[in-house]
Each structure stands twice: as C-alpha cells, then as structure tokens.
Structure 1
Amino acid sequence: MKKLIIVIIMLLSITTYAQKINWMSFEEALTAQKTTPKKIFVDAYTTWCGPCKMLDKNTFQNKDVVKYINDNFYAVKFNAEGNEVVNFKGETFTNPNFDSNKKGRNSSHQLSGYLGVRAYPTMLFLDEENNLITPVVGYKTPQQLELFLKLIKKEDYKNIKSQEAFTEYASNFKPEFKE
C-alpha cells in the first residue's frame, strides 16, 4: 500500500511539473477563435534572443503562468523572423527575405511589422476580434507578467487612459503567482 501511495505521489508530481502552455500557431488560434472566442496571447520571439530563452525557461514554465494562460487565452508561439505563412485579417503575411541558411538574425516576418513588433521578446494581446490590445516588450518574471495577464483578462485595460493611471493600477496590484 505504501508503495502504491509513493507511486501515485510521484506520478502526480511529474504531471504537475510537466504542465506546459498549450502553444498554437497563429492559424490554429484564429480557427479556434471562430468557434470559441477568446483573447489571444502571442509570444513573438526569435531563435537568437537571450531574453526570449529566459522567458521560455523561467516565466513560461511557471505553473501559475501556465495555468492562467491555458485557462484564459489562446497562446501563440510566433517566430518573428520565421517563414510561417499567416492569414490574418484578410491578408497573407510571409517572410519573403527569410534565409534558411542563416544561423542568427534573419529578416523580420511581415506580420511582425504589421503588429508593431520592434524588439524581442514582445508579447502581444489580441482581443476576440483579433485587434491589438497592447504589446508588452522585454523579459518579464511570472509576477510581472501576471499583472498584464490579469489586466487584459479582466478587461481593466479599458479603464486605463494614461501612463499615470497604469502606474497607479500597477502599484495597487497584488501578485498571486508563486516564483
């Protein structure tokens, strides 16, 4: 009986540890949104970006972040210098200057420019009609990202009209995500 309990505890801990964000392509998220509208969270990254890798390792592995994103958003992992073809808002976006032989920086994807991505990482929030709500630029800890996740999910952003209002909102925010 003790061995069974130990095995069950080990399996539960592995399952909890192994939870990951349910990343989708843009196409998959846009298709899912047609049947069940939900906001979209986009991680616009590049393969060479150090802070992007830190987000993957630290923030996107945090169980609170994983659960909140999976429960409330369609999550898109988008290589902002990749060669994916994306149909978005009636237009087709590609990366015509993509060079598959390059190991480092590549040309920017057309969709990156369309969405205003200028630095990496940039996390984008889109509403249920695929309109850009806001970009969040740079590495964020789980608690820093929590502020934006909840601000967008609860639609509090609609009441914030200035930098001062955002600063006040952020100073009153009490993070709940664990390290």
Structure 2
Amino acid sequence: MKILILLIMAFNFLAIQNVYAQNKSKFQKIKWISFKKAVFSNNKVKKPFFLEFYAPYCDYCIQMEKKVFYRGKVIKIINKYFYPVKINIEGNKTVKFFNGKHYSKKLLSIKLNVMGTPTAIFYSSGLKKIFTLPGYWNEDDFVLVARWIAKKKYKIESLRKYYKEIK
C-alpha cells in the first residue's frame, strides 16, 4: 500500500513538473532591445519607440516589472507595435540619441526631463515625442495609453477623449 501511495505521489509530481515546463516554455516577455538596435530597426520597419526609464533600486520600477510588464496584454501590444528600450538611469554607458549626439543614460534621462522612475516615454517612428507616463501605471491604464499610441489615435484625439470613448 505504501508503495502504491509513493507511486501515485511520484506520478502527480512528474505530471505537475511537466505542465509547469510546458507553461514556462510558452511564457512571453517584452523583448527589450538596445537603443542602437531600435533606431537601426526603425530604418527598416517604422514603429513607435517605447522608452522605459528605471532605476534598479526603485520599488515602483520593480512593481511595474512584476505587475505590468509581465502581463499578456502589455507584452502583446508592446512587442507588436513598439520598439521597447529599457534605460537604467544609473547606467554610465552612452547611447546615441535621435539627434546624433552621445549621452550617458543618466544624462539622457536629465535631457528628456525624467524627474523620477519609473518613467515611460513614447516616441513616434518619426522621432517626435508623443507622450510621457511618469510613475507607476496599472496594467489597464498602461494598455489604454499604449493602444491610443499604437492605433495612432493621438494624432486625432486627446487621451482623455479616447478614454471616454473606450470606457
């Protein structure tokens, strides 16, 4: 009887492990790319840019990562419609910005008026700033803004008007 119970427990354990492995392989995440690659890719296929400014010690950045950037709706819209670039404001590496000048990531965040983290800035494929999202945004509100930009609604109506139409 003990052997039978042990066999059943072992079988259940292996079955759970198998399901977990399958789900893990299907797990999606935002495909963050370097700023350089985003600019290069934009020369081939025009898409807006999504710049996410963060700091490794920032609690709200960590919450955005866990509660927003790992959600299916967010992952799908960001990967499909944007070039996502994650920028550590504490980083000393330099990036070549749209204007052709090189900036440290810290200096770039100052230049773009990033006053705190997290801050998301959306740029058009034509390299014009569309919208800035300062601070923590929940999944639904973040998706609303991302769709407003992805569908190019920002060209014809305010976010407030778009929000009222959707809700």
Range into which the TM-score falls when normalised by the shorter chain: 0.7 to 0.9
Deviations 1:35-90 (A, max 9, x none): 22211111111112111100001100001111111111111011122112111121
Contact 1:39 1:125 in 2 (8 A): yes
Name the residue aligned to 1:146.
143
Structure 2 gaps of 5+ residues are 1-15
* Percent identical: 31
Deviations 1:64-117 (A, max 9, x none): 11111111111101112211211112111126xxxxxxxxxxxxx111122221
Q: TM-score, normalised by structure 2?
A: 0.82
Amino acid at match of 1:43: E
Structure 2 residue corresponding to 1:155, chosen from 148, 152, 156: 152
Contact 2:38 2:84 in 1 (8 A): yes
Greater C-alpha radius of gyration: 2
Distance 1:151 1:29 in 2: 21
Structure 2 residue corresponding to 1:136, chosen from 125, 133, 142: 133
Name the residue aligned to 1:22.
31
Q: Does 1:74 align with 2:83?
A: yes
Q: Does 1:93 align with 2:103?
A: yes
Amino acid at match of 1:42: L
Task: Output the aligned Cα RMSD.
Answer: 2.0
Aligned length: 152
Contact 1:115 1:132 in 2 (8 A): no
Q: TM-score, normalised by structure 1?
A: 0.77
Structure 1 gaps of 5+ residues are 1-5, 96-108, 175-179
Distance 2:19 2:163 in 1: 38
Distance 2:81 2:162 in 1: 21
Q: Does 1:51 align with 2:60?
A: yes
- SS at 2:96's partner residue? strand
- SS at 1:24's partner residue? coil
Tell me by how many angstroms 1:124 deviates: 0.7
